[in-house]
């Protein structure tokens, strides 16, 4: 009989073997990064025309804010007052310059004289307030007592009184209301506004504020009280008490001898 050769059986890799068992391939584990969360604006973008309109509206809002700041400057808000030399030059052009009169416009019809006077007391002493009986718009006349209060009163231009933004302008005393006089006042007020704009870089004008100068206010001590501030008597020592007793006793002896007609 012919002996047949046996075929070698194939080797089977054990289940659950390691990577180092000589396998033909290796498994690589990859950790995928988590995707970034998108916002609603990124997920649902607006159309191109709408985005353009939004940009235009934003530019318009910026232009409006700049124009508002310019209009505030024109109305006198956040502007410095006039210097003393400028006020002196303006007062020289007024006929009755002893009366320092201002006209206050855009006043509420329900605002009383006392409220206007209290508001202008921030600038200085108010001599008087006059509200016309027959008027088409809300305005009043304020007369300041001195030039210092008249100078600071322009800082109240653009301030709020009784819920309204008021405007403070130069006026003149008198009952005449001619067209030429009104035109002259308008020119003067336009010049005052220009000067106040120029005074933004002037240290003398910017230094004037409505706040009181604490250094000028003298803190006077109250007068002494008769009972509370009475000085306490000084306590004497034993030696001082003995010396006083000796003096008093010697005086008493001399007086007694003088009464009897004896000489010491």
| Neighbouring-strand partners of residue 143 | 101, 128
Least confident of 4-8, 231-235, 245-249, 253-257: 4-8
Q: Which of 93, 256, 253, 121 is nearest to 185 (CA)?
A: 93
Q: How far is CA 117 from CA 113, 126, 140, 148, 156, in A?
A: 6, 6, 11, 16, 12
Q: What is the pLDDT of residue 73?
A: 53
With a cut of 70, say whether residue 264 has pLDDT above it: no
With a cut of 50, say whether residue 25 has pLDDT above it: no
Least confident of 16-20, 173-177, 191-195, 240-244: 16-20
Q: Are 102 and 150 in contact (CB under 8 A)?
A: yes
The 10s digit of each residue's pLDDT in 31-71 is: 667 777 777 777 778 788 878 887 877 777 666 655 555 55
Higher pLDDT, 226 or 11: 226
Q: Percentage of the chain with pLDDT > 70?
A: 77
Across 111-136, average pLDDT: 91
The 10s digit of each residue's pLDDT in 162-174 is: 999 999 999 987 7
With a cut of 80, say whether residue 122 has pLDDT above it: yes
With a cut of 90, say whether residue 151 has pLDDT above it: yes
Category of 89 on φ-ψ map: left (φ > 0), alpha (ψ -120 to 50) or beta: alpha
pLDDT grade for 97, boundaries at 50, 70 and 90: confident
Higher pLDDT, 30 or 172: 172
Residues 6+ apart with CB under 8 A from 154: 76, 81, 82, 168, 192, 196
* Paired tokens of 178: 């001619």
pLDDT grade for 3, boundaries at 50, 70 and 90: low
Q: What is the pLDDT of residue 63?
A: 63
Task: Kindly report the average pLDDT of the chain as a whole number.
Answer: 80
């Amino acid at each position: 009989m012919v002996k047949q050769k046996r075929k070698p059986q194939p080797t089977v890799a054990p289940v659950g073997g390691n990577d180092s068992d000589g396998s033909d391939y290796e498994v690589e584990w990859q950790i995928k990064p988590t995707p970034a969360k998108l916002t609603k604006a990124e997920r649902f973008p607006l159309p191109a025309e709408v985005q353009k309109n939004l940009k235009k509206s934003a530019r318009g809002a910026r232009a409006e804010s700049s124009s508002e700041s310019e209009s505030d400057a024109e109305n006198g808000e956040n502007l410095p007052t006039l210097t003393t030399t400028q006020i002196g030059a303006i007062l020289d052009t007024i006929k009755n310059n002893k009366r320092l009169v201002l006209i206050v416009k855009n006043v509420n019809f329900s605002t009383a004289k006392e409220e206007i006077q209290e508001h202008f007391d921030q600038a200085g002493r108010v001599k008087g307030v006059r509200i016309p009986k027959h008027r088409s718009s809300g305005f009043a006349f304020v007369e300041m007592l001195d030039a210092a209060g008249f100078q600071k009163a322009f800082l109240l231009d653009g301030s709020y009184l009784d819920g309204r933004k008021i405007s403070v302008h130069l006026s003149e005393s008198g009952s005449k209301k001619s067209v030429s006089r009104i035109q002259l006042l308008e020119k003067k007020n336009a010049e005052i506004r220009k000067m106040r704009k120029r005074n933004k870089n002037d240290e003398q004008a910017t230094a004037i504020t409505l706040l009181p100068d604490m250094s000028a206010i003298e803190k006077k001590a109250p007068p002494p009280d008769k009972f509370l501030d009475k000085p306490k008597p000084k306590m004497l020592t034993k030696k001082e008490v003995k010396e006083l007793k000796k003096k008093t006793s010697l005086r008493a002896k001399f007086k007694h001898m003088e009464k009897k007609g004896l000489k010491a």
